[in-house]
């Protein structure tokens, strides 16, 4: 009894220090070196007035012009377009899905069609139905464009898709990107449940696809740590995807990567290899030649997210069937990198020949600050390119005139 009393007394005396030591570490900070002050840049989730949206700062190649397509859309991220031209935008922290429709005079109107959802980042249109992927919740809004002012209750497909929950992910990399494949299937990412760790490689760090009813799950690629952007080549139909590399391994390693998936089930190597080279902590004696190598390196910690092949006719021929990639920008790096849109140019064999800057001007290197964070790109039917800026809650429209 005396030992128990003494033990309790010691615990009470050490209470504040003990509580401080026991405080949970947020998922993003696991593995952060002692003394590091790096932390994510919190998104701005309030409306930014039009005059504060930094469209005048954007820099583009000759002949291109940027304008504000829509603003006042806090946290706008991944986009999908309805048959009648409505642009739908998902979000993460704010939990909303927006619908942006264009008026006859060229202005736009924004409506909130869903809110209170857990990180509804992933959107895909199939016919007149909008699918919303909010972590593991899957909601289908039928005939949505005809009901923007009176949105009906969605069809809940959560059980059919049976995606890992936020708890399964331990709060890490659980938001989704969704794409409709040329085969009519829905393609999704399932991120890793940690920064880097051991995990079930049939459950996490995957690209997967389903039939639209949530049946027939198929693993398209393993060992892709955290992809938040993918698209199919319009000619070869091959799946391509961006990928975010691990944290806390230095300023310049690993690179974020671009992946080309030629056959379902390919293994791209994470956690044993990152950015095409062996991970110093988790290689487990594996040779990176065992795995499919990245199609291209996109830069360290640039946060490469949404990507699309350019299928329009407005831009010059050199951009046809090339990959536009939004790089949201770094936080896990002492000097900022990314905050732009780049183009991956492919050669005749479908290999990446070069990565070229396209939309810049949002990163202020002299003062180490940024003006906005591009998170997704979307090719409109008229051939113009939309870029979603999460930080300013705006969508930019890029056009070309000879």
Q: What is the pLDDT of residue 169?
A: 97
Q: In what order do the strands lie in the sheet with 296-300?
A: 230-232, 239-243, 255-261, 296-300
Evaluate if residue 16 carries a pLDDT over 70: no
By C-alpha distance, which of 12, 91, 13 is closest to 46? 91
Q: Which of 57-82 are b and which e, b meaning 16 or more Cβ less than 10 Å from the residue's Cβ? A: ebebeeebebebbbbbbbbbbbbbbb
Arithmetic mean of pLDDT over the chain: 93
Determine if residue 237 is left, alpha or beta; phi over 0 gives left, psi from -120 to 50 gives alpha, anything else beta: left
What's the whole-number mean pLDDT along residues 74-102? 97
pLDDT band of residue 10 (cuts 50, 70, 90) is very low
φ, ψ (nearest 5 deg) of residue 51? -70, -15
What is the distance between the alpha carbons of residues 123 and 121, in angstroms, rounded to a whole number? Answer: 7
Q: How far apart are CA 185 and CA 260, in angstroms?
A: 18
Please give the Cα distance from 44 to 73 (Å, whole number): 11
State pLDDT tens for residues 291-322. Answer: 999 999 999 999 999 999 999 999 999 999 99
Number of H helices, E strands in the chain: 3, 29
pLDDT digits 0-9 by tens, 217-237:
999 999 999 999 999 999 999
User: What value does the mean pLDDT take over residues 336-357?
Assistant: 97
List, in sequence order, every residue forming a beta bridge with 343; answer none if it has no partner.
Answer: 324, 356
- Asked if residue 18 has pLDDT above 80, the reply is no
- Tell me how far apart the alpha carbons of residues 255 and 84 are, in angstroms, rounded to a whole number: 39
Predicted confidence at residue 27, as pLDDT, reads: 79
Average confidence (pLDDT) over 198-211: 97
pLDDT average, residue stretch 61-88 = 97
Give the separation between CA 396 and CA 215, rounded to whole angstroms: 36
Q: Is the dihedral of CA 92, 93, 95, 98 positive or negative?
A: negative
């Amino acid at each position: 009894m005396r030992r128990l009393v003494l033990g309790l007394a010691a615990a009470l005396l050490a209470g504040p220090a003990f509580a401080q030591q026991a405080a949970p570490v947020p998922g993003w900070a696991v593995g952060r070196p002692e003394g590091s002050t790096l932390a994510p840049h919190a998104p701005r989730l309030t409306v930014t007035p039009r005059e504060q949206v930094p469209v005048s700062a954007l820099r583009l190649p000759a002949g291109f012009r940027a304008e504000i397509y829509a603003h006042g859309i806090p946290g706008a991220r991944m986009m999908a377009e309805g048959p009648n031209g409505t642009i739908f935008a998902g979000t993460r922290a704010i939990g909303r899905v927006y619908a942006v429709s264009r008026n006859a005079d060229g202005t736009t109107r924004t409506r909130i069609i869903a809110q209170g959802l857990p990180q509804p980042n992933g959107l895909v249109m199939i016919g007149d139905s909008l699918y919303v992927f909010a972590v593991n919740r899957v909601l289908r809004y039928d005939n949505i464009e005809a009901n923007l002012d009176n949105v009906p209750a969605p069809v809940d497909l959560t059980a059919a898709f049976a995606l890992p929950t936020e708890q399964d992910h331990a709060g890490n990399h659980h938001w989704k990107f969704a794409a409709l494949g040329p085969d009519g299937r829905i393609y999704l990412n399932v991120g890793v449940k940690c920064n880097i760790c051991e995990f079930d490689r049939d459950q996490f760090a995957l690209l997967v696809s389903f039939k639209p009813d949530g049946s027939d799950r198929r693993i398209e690629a393993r060992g892709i740590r955290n992809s938040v952007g993918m698209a199919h080549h319009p000619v070869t139909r091959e799946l391509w995807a961006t990928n975010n590399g691990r944290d806390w391994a230095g300023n310049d390693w690993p690179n974020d990567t671009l992946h080309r998936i030629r056959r379902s089930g390919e293994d791209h190597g994470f956690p044993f290899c990152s950015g095409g080279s062996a991970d110093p902590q988790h290689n487990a004696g594996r040779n990176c030649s065992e795995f499919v190598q990245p199609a291209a390196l996109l830069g360290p910690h640039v946060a490469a997210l949404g990507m699309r092949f350019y299928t329009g006719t407005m831009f010059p021929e050199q951009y046809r069937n090339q990959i536009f990639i939004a790089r949201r920008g770094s936080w896990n790096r002492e000097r900022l990198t990314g905050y732009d849109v780049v183009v991956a140019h492919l050669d005749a064999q479908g290999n990446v020949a070069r990565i070229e800057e396209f939309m810049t001007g949002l990163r202020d290197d002299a003062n180490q600050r940024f003006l906005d964070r591009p998170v997704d790109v979307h090719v409109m039917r008229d051939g113009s390119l939309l870029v979603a800026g999460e930080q300013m809650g705006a969508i930019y429209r890029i056009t070309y005139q000879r």
